[in-house]
Amino acid sequence: MSAFVDAQSGGFSINLVHRDFEGSPFYNPKETPARRVGIAGRRSIGRVHRFSSRSISDPSDPDAQLTANNGEYLVNISLGTPPFPIVAIADTGSDIIWTQCKPCTDCYKQDAPLFDTKSSSSYRTVSCSSNACNSLQSEGSSCSSDGSVCEYQVSYGDQSHTQGDVAAETLTLESKTGNPVALPKTVIGCGHDNAGTFSPKGSGIVGLGGGPASLVSQLGSSIGGKFSYCMVPYAAAKPTSTMNFGTNAVVSGNGVLSTPLISDPSQPTFYFLQLEAVSVGSKKIAFQGSSIGGSGNIIIDSGTTLTLVPTDFFSQLSDAVETQVTGGTKTSDPEGFFSLCYVPDSSLKLPPVTAHFKGADVVLTSDNIFIQVNDKVVCLAFYANDQLSIYGNVAQQIFLIGYDLPKQTLSFKPTDCTNT
């Protein structure tokens, strides 16, 4: 049974699975926890390469493959009629929804079967004069050689690319209630020429950014411009987090803090916030951040693990944390990636840390500040980067994070995400 969801239906919720949890196609049981966390940290840097056209990663780097499809959370979707299952990356740093499709002129190796458009009765290509084609102008939309079909092209910072036909197709989400949510005539990219450093484990991307082609924008008024998510801690036993849409996404009640959600017309994909300072104990460190996003100075992104901040700010923050930590034993990261690590014994006491967003003083927990590398090591989940400032998903865990696009607000509510 499928049902198209609108604002009057009460909204819906779906599961998100972290790519490093068992059951994910990306899960590698041979990796040690330290190696897994180290690679996740490097994916954070890969996000900057992807977000910034000024930066090109080295394709010979063994971690370069983490750049093109390096979101952290996966969602089960289906395309077409009858539904064809795809495990896609849910990405607030992307707009377009795309997957590889048959026939493939030049496709990267993919472990899962490719979507065959000829097997779907609901698949329709989009004309060049359509609103759907115009919505993909930021994705390099153009016309086919005979002028009949709208085409898209997306190039990533590591020189990977995807291009193909723009189409209208039924996209089905698996809701947490067990009832599929069918979204007819969703605009997608059907990739026929995709190459670069894509992982064979990936089979699609669901863009959740602020641009007109994203799933959130396409749902538009049917969800009242609202979505939210609640991400479990990285070391939690429960593998699933939750994403909500429509009335299910309303964040209310005691403890809710809200800050302006800032858009930049020149970069409509990204969700910007204004971070004014971070306090470590009684020491308040002013934050300048990236000179992008209009009055916004930091991007909030579910697909970046670490919080990336300018080098000077990181030095002050790291020094303040180290100075105020009591007990415990300082140690080294087994992978050599993180700079400030401790043995998490019973004597370790961390200072209180507060992120001062405009109008919202968000008190962080130890799970937001440090990431558990293994049973014997925790490391500061911030990293120095002078290109872009990004508020990563470790800092967002154990909060219900709500986006209200009509009101242009983002809300935080401390929440036990293992019970959502």
- The 10s digit of each residue's pLDDT in 381-403 is 999 999 889 999 999 999 999 99
Question: What's the mean pLDDT in 207-216?
Answer: 92
Average pLDDT over residues 170-198: 91
- For the ranges 19-33, 94-108, 202-216, 303-317, the lowest mean pLDDT is seen at 19-33
Q: 49-58, 118-127, 167-176: lowest mean pLDDT where?
A: 49-58
Grade residue 167 by pLDDT with cuts at 50, 70 and 90. Answer: very high
Q: pLDDT at position 294, please?
A: 66
The position carrying tokens 């299910």 is 248
pLDDT of residue 329: 92
Could you give the residue ranges of the DSSP H alpha helices within 207-342?
215-219, 311-324
Average pLDDT over residues 343-361: 94
d(CA 21, CA 240): 9
Lowest mean pLDDT across 143-147, 332-336, 381-385: 143-147
Residues of the chain above pLDDT 70, percent: 89
Which contiguous run of DSSP H or E holds residue 396? helix 393-396
**Cα separation values, 261 from 150, 278, 312, 400, Å:** 32, 18, 25, 15
pLDDT (mean) for 263-287: 93
- 223: which 2 tokens? 């969800």
* pLDDT for the residue numbered 208: 94
pTM for this predicted structure: 0.89
Give, in degrees to the nearest 5, the angle at Cα 183 between 160 and 226: 85
Instruction: Please return the burial class of 177, using the count of CB atoms within 10 Å of its CB with bins 0-12, 13-18 and 19+.
Output: exposed
pLDDT > 90? residue 1 = no
What pLDDT does 10 receive?
61
Q: How far apart are alpha carbons 250 and 400 in whole angstroms?
A: 10
Known catalytic residues? Answer: 91, 301
* φ, ψ of residue 72 in degrees (nearest 5): -100, -20
Question: Does the pLDDT at position 286 exceed 70?
Answer: yes
**Who has greater pLDDT, 136 or 54?**
136
- Share the mean pLDDT of the chain: 86
Closest by CA position to 40, among listed 388, 381, 386, 270:
381
Q: Tell me: pLDDT of 326 over 80.
A: yes
* Residues 47-58 pLDDT 10s: 776 666 423 233
Overall average pLDDT of the 361-378 stretch: 91
Average pLDDT on 303-326 reads 95
The contacts of residue 85 (CB under 8 Å, 6+ apart) are 76, 77, 78
Q: In the predicted model, what is the mean pLDDT of residues 231-235?
A: 80
The answer to whether residue 273 scores a pLDDT higher than 80 is yes
